[in-house]
Amino acid sequence: MDGKETIISVKNLKINIALDEGTLTAVRGVSFSIDKGETLGLVGESGCGKSLTCKAILGINDKKCSTEGEIFFDTDAEGEVDLLKLPPKGEQIRDVRGKQISMIFQEPMVCFSPMYTIGNQINESTRLHITKDKKKAKAISLDMMKKVGIANAEKRYDQYPHEFSGGMLQRALIAMALVCKPKLLIADEPTTALDVTIQAQILELIKELQKDLQMSVLFVTHDLGTVAKMCDRVAVMYLGKIIETGSVEQIYHDPKHPYTKGLLGSVHKIGTKKQERLFSIEGTVPLAMNLPSGCSFYDRCKDRIEGVCNVKEPEVLAIESNHTVSCHAVSRTIKGGSSIE
């Protein structure tokens, strides 16, 4: 797309989980791409498959999950490679994982081993991917710790995780993830476990570092507030499908899909006039085990068209450049839209 370099493109990703009760299709054909330096927000409620999608990119899903589709990543060594076709324990994927794509998680507490110092654990990835030289590696790691705003980095380097606060640990985790200067950072709910003031600090930090290192970010969250602050483009997921994508302005100011509308309506904005009731989406997310035929949002949708929505799954419809939506009701009202595969 006009001169922009695509870092990663996920095409028709499907993930099945084998459970005792049967097979659960958790991700049902997800496609998206991220350009260089761009931040894509992946928004959805719990159980919509957003975390599984991230883990599939790194190939770190459970053995119970079987993954189909294509994930093209622009690797350093060989250009565009389908990550899913690489042998899961081979040299190539390990070079990508941690070095070119890295990930930060929701709970920094559980991401560090309590038995080793923070410095030791950050250094692990430095020594694995950058240099074997101990002194050089330590210098690089320390430099990164300073960059993420850990004051007194030399002293902190030798401390253990329990001596860090939650916010500091998240900074350390970011240092660990970014020490190899990855092209793509996957941030899976990086601030959900943190307090508001700390959350704001971490978000700013990620933004700064992104500019610095010119990396792309896949920002996964259920919090619409942080998405509005962080992302260039947004993809909204519901029950294993992306139901709407668009630029952050398009999604927040001109949402098309009834689910996106409902989601935005159910968040109260401070400073707006007090409304008596919040807008809310009826019902609960159905179990992915026995999905209804047709549109999976049908039961909860306000704009549903009987005989259409519960029969056929909606196709992806491009409304404007970059703004796509999968909804029968929208495609009826908008004539100019053209259906794309």
User: Can you give the binding site for other proteins, defined by CB under 8 A?
Assistant: 45-46, 165, 167-168, 195-201, 203-204, 222-229, 248-249, 252-253, 262-274, 276-282, 284-285, 290
Structure tokens at 158: 């030798």
Shortest distance (Å) from residue 173 CB to other proteins: 16
| Residue closer to other proteins (CB basis): 155 or 253 | 253
Shortest distance (Å) from residue 203 CB to other proteins: 7
Structure tokens at 220: 């996964």
| Residues contacting 68, CB < 8 A, separation 6+ | 12, 13, 14, 15, 16, 84
Helix, strand or coil, per DSSP, at residue 280: coil
Distance of alpha carbon 284 from alpha carbon 4, whole angstroms: 40
| Residue closer to other proteins (CB basis): 88 or 283 | 283
Shortest distance (Å) from residue 336 CB to other proteins: 25
Q: Say if residues 193 and 106 touch (Cβ distance below 8 Å).
A: yes
Shortest distance (Å) from residue 221 CB to other proteins: 10
- How does 18-52 read in b/e, with b if 16+ C-beta sit within 10 Å? eeeeeebbbbbbbbbbbbebbbbbbbbeebbbbbb
Question: Which residues on adjacent β-strands are paired with residue 259?
Answer: none
Shortest distance (Å) from residue 99 CB to other proteins: 31
Q: Say if residues 299 and 283 touch (Cβ distance below 8 Å).
A: yes
| Residue closer to other proteins (CB basis): 128 or 285 | 285
Shortest distance (Å) from residue 321 CB to other proteins: 18
DSSP type of residue 268? P
| Residue closer to other proteins (CB basis): 269 or 332 | 269
Alpha carbon 59 to chain centroid, angstroms: 14
| Residue closer to other proteins (CB basis): 74 or 244 | 244
| Residue closer to other proteins (CB basis): 37 or 286 | 286
User: 268 — phi, psi (to 5°)?
Assistant: -80, 135
| Residue closer to other proteins (CB basis): 135 or 197 | 197
Interaxial angle between packed helices 118-129 and 166-178, expressed in degrees from 0 to 180 and rounded to the nearest 10: 10
Shortest distance (Å) from residue 231 CB to other proteins: 8
Continuous segment of H or E residues that includes residue 81: strand 79-82
